[in-house]
Amino acid sequence: MAKIDYAYSLEIGEAIDAIQAQELYFDKILKDKRNFMCCDSNCGAKITCANMDKSYGEMKRIPHFKCIEDHSEQCQEVAPLKKGRKQSKQSDSEEQEITKQIMFGIERPENHYEKKSNVILGDKEKKDSDINGNGETNSNRKSNIFLVDSLVQYFIRGNTEKTLKSTKVIIKLGKKRNAYVYSLQSFFKEISSADIKKIKINNVYVYYGKARVKQNGQDGYIIEFADNFYDNDKKVVCYLKKEIIEECKLQRNTKENKVRNYLNSEINCYLLGNVVMGEKRIFINLKSLDHIAFSEKELESY
Ligand SMILES: [Zn+2]
């Protein structure tokens, strides 16, 4: 059966991918993994988002859509996929082809998702007007995410599918400020192998490596990376301050617990931030609880 990249969520009235669905479940915006259907309004086959309700960190299997009914004969969601596969075999040389676009928002918009939660379950008319109105197809859809956990899932998937270079990450810095485009590969910097002299340290990237989480004072944490940057002898650390934790508006306790879970143990840690060079240490500046992710799984080198 054809792979389904995007499905229509009956809970928010929007076509989303499975990794975005997991993020929305984590933020308690989506509630039921069975509330999806095929994006083609003339098809509407029922879809389930497998593993949407699995917690981050374990990462045994990345969430994915499963169609539990046959698509209609004319379904446009399945048809272009079949064609696309045949064509891609003939054009192996076109490496620069963009396979996926991910929009990562550094800041969440005000009243995030408040309006959309009013969509009534199973409202077929609403679905038709939404889909016909914006004319989205699989090739120009973007996934909108705010959690580094989701970026890590795309990174793992991109590594398996060999699409790290062709997956584009668009980083939206603020409401009216610029957006920056990276490949997924260039946006992730493994601390042990990255040369800090070659990194634009004022830009934000996802830095990752083995780290230990420690309590820092009563309400803060310090994350100490096991490795230094390539050919550099300064320790790499990140202070997760009380103010940053308190600024988190969506599921603050759940997100702080994610950090507390790994207190005093060594874990693979991913931080989105910029770097500040100290005299004895290198600091990764974190702006939000959304910008930290952990993975228990040993990740192979990319
Ligand atoms: Zn369909």
* Rounded Cα distance, 123 and 222, in Å: 47
Residue pLDDT, tens place only, 253-297: 999 999 999 999 999 999 999 999 999 999 999 999 999 999 887
CA 1 to ligand 1 centroid distance, Å: 11
pLDDT of residue 219: 87
- 175 against 86, higher pLDDT: 175
In this structure, are residues 285 and 274 in contact, taking their beta carbons and an 8 Å threshold?
A: yes
Confidence of residue 160 (pLDDT cuts 50, 70, 90): confident
pTM (2 d.p.): 0.85
Centroid of ligand 1 to alpha carbon of 147 (angstroms): 29
Domains defined for the chain, CATH in brackets: 6-179 (no CATH), 191-295 (2.40.50.140)
**How far is the centre of ligand 1, averaged over its atoms, from the C-alpha of 46 (Å)?**
9
Least-confidence region, from 70-74, 174-178, 205-209, 250-254 = 174-178
Rounded to an integer, what distance in angstroms lies between the CA atom of residue 182 and that of residue 168? 6
Rg of the chain over Cα atoms, rounded to whole angstroms, equals 20
**Rounded-to-5 percentages of helix, strand, coil across the chain:** 25, 30, 45
Query: Residue 209's beta-bridge partner residues?
Result: 269
Neighbours of ion ligand 1 (CB under 5 A): 38, 40, 43, 45, 71, 75, 77
CA 124 to ligand 1 centroid distance, Å:
14
CA 139 to ligand 1 center in whole angstroms: 16
How far is the centre of ligand 1, averaged over its atoms, from the C-alpha of 213 (Å)?
Answer: 45
Centroid of ligand 1 to alpha carbon of 178 (angstroms): 36
Q: Is 249 exposed, middle or buried (0-12, 13-18, 19+ CB in 10 A)?
A: exposed
What's the gap in Å between 80 CA and the centre of ligand 1?
11
| Sequence-distant contacts of 127-131: CB under 8 A, at least 24 apart | 127/8, 127/10, 127/13, 127/37, 127/41, 127/44, 128/41, 130/13, 130/14, 131/8, 131/15, 131/39, 131/40, 131/41
Contact 174, 107 (CB under 8 A): yes
DSSP 168: E
Higher pLDDT, 189 or 114: 189
40 CA to middle of ligand 1, Å? 5
For residue range 45-103, what is the model confidence (pLDDT) as tens digits?
A: 999 999 999 888 766 678 999 999 999 998 988 876 555 444 444 444 444 578 889 99
CA dihedral defined by 75, 78, 82, 88, rounded to 10 degrees? 130
Q: Are 267 and 295 in contact (CB under 8 A)?
A: yes
